[in-house]
Structure 1
Amino acid sequence: MTAPSLPDDCVPYLPRGVRLHDDKVRGIRVLLAPERAISLDPVGDAILSELDGARTLGDLIAELAARYQAPAEQVGQDMREFLTGLIDRRMVFLRESGARGA
């Protein structure tokens, strides 16, 4: 399966009004957006916890691949698929690496 084509030099970030939250009642992490919430598994939480609006997708892939001692190609494919789904739902935005402001 081919990963969606998100360039390594794009910068993924959570837009205004979207945030990570610890649901203490259920003991899970969720991604909250206006009138929406998505339960996160440990992989989704690891990916979204790294989005700081400054680092490129390529940097994030390298960081997570090193942290979890996983092949960068596999990490990149998984991240692109996961982020593409959230981009389609307007819960993650992208900007070019040289652009400023969110």
Structure 2
Amino acid sequence: MSDFDLTQVPNLRRGFRLQWEPAQGCHVLLYPEGMIRLNESAGAIAVQIDGQRDVESIIRNLSEQYPDAPDLADDVVQFMEVASEKFWIELH
């Protein structure tokens, strides 16, 4: 895992909304200009983003839900880095 700060608290950026989209069969991020389809792993991570939990808590929660998932912490950190770079989330 990188030297990512696990104490950061992610929050969806203003104008973004996460929801389950039955027609797509996945979670999506909606924003004024469009929609981002999330794969199953990204959707499970995004559901944990509430502006209250830090990344470490999100990893802990997901580890309890998916105890057999390999490299879960790395996947969460990678999602946070990509989502931040693409301006889907803010990290505080």
Query: How does the TM-score come out when normalised to structure 2?
Result: 0.86
Structure possessing the higher radius of gyration over alpha carbons: 1
Number of aligned residue pairs: give it. 92
**Alpha carbon RMSD of aligned pairs, Å?**
1.8
The residue identity in structure 2 corresponding to 1:90 is: F
Matching residue of 1:61: 59
Deviation >4 Å, runs of 4+? none
Report % sequence identity: 28
Matching residue of 1:99: none
Q: State the 1:4 CA deviation.
A: 4.4
Distance 2:80 2:13 in 1: 13
- Tell me if the contact between 2:19 and 2:28 (Cα under 8 Å) persists in the aligned partners: yes
After superposition, the C-alpha distances for 1:69-97 in whole angstroms (9 at most, x for unaligned) are 046x82111011112111111111100xx
SS, match of residue 10 in structure 1: coil
Query: How does the TM-score come out when normalised to structure 1?
Result: 0.78
Q: State the 1:34 CA deviation.
A: 2.8
Matching residue of 2:78: 81
